[in-house]
Amino acid sequence: MDVLDLIKEAFYYPINDYKNWLIIAILFLLNTVLSSYVISEGGAVGIIGSIISLLITIIIAGVTVAVMRNTFNNSNNVPMIDLQINFVDGIKYSIISIVYSVIPVIIALIMGIFTGIYSTIDKILTTVVQSSVATNATPDVIIQAIPQDLLVSFGMNILIIMFVFIILSIIAAILFAIAEARFAETGSILSAFDLKAIFDKISSIGWGNYIVFLISLAIVLIVLGIVSGIIAYIPYIGALISGFVIDSFLVLFIARAIALIYQQGY
């Protein structure tokens, strides 16, 4: 199966089993209602709404794992919701996702030490405080009091750190897709961090095919994201429709597509 056929198969996956998709979509609808109307109320109601929303999000993460697992078992059906299994898988999946998201941030923060950005920030803040206390100046005057070389140094350091962060985030995203599929296949969190096995899997898929797959997937996500954004602008019901249809579709589509490309490495 080439990449285009794979994407096409994943695209029709929710549609071909629309009844089970509808059940999962109800979870997204409920989560959208909680996010848009209940949590914003604040107070006890908002707290309860936040907790319920978090639980639903974890279950949805577990559904992602179930879709991949079904695919590996040669099933073309959208999985039925199993609250206990989905919740446990969802927690494990969330841990893996958080680790892959946090690592680029940690490395970027460490890079800040070597670039000297923290000392630069300290000098800028010291200058701002001294200027403010000494002259009771306006913000424009305070900014003008900051030495030009400090501002240039700060800007350059920010660019370097952002560049490193973006590169690391792209690498993390490339690895994470295979990592989550490995977890779905093995059920082991540790398998998602076995970098040698992950690189071996990508090599067996073919780096060229895998990159083309990720780019194709990104294009579909961008298009559907634009559609979702347009729908969300519909007064009163736009966000509900977007969450119910587009968001639920995307979760099933992405999970199916990743599982299919993963199978190309067998």
For the segment 163-176, what is each residue's pLDDT rounded down to a tens digit?
999 999 999 999 99
CA distance 166 to 20: 37
pLDDT tens-digit profile of 69-89? Answer: 999 999 999 999 999 999 999
| Tokens found for residue 233 | 């602008």
Q: In angstroms, what CA-CA distances link 62 with 86, 145, 154? A: 4, 54, 42
The domain locations on the chain are: 3-263
Average pLDDT, rounded, for the chain? 90
Q: Is the dihedral angle over the CA atoms 9, 12, 17, 22 positive or is it negative? A: positive
Q: Is the pLDDT of residue 135 over 70?
A: no
pLDDT band at 203 (very low <50, low <70, confident <90, very high): very high
pLDDT tens-digit profile of 38-64? Answer: 776 677 878 888 899 999 999 999 999
What pLDDT was estimated at residue 104? Answer: 95
Q: Is the pLDDT of residue 136 over 70?
A: no
| Residues contacting 104, CB < 8 A, separation 6+ | 165, 168, 169, 171, 172
| Tokens found for residue 235 | 């007064």
| Tokens found for residue 113 | 């030490």
| Tokens found for residue 136 | 């009771």
Q: Is the pLDDT of residue 133 over 70?
A: no
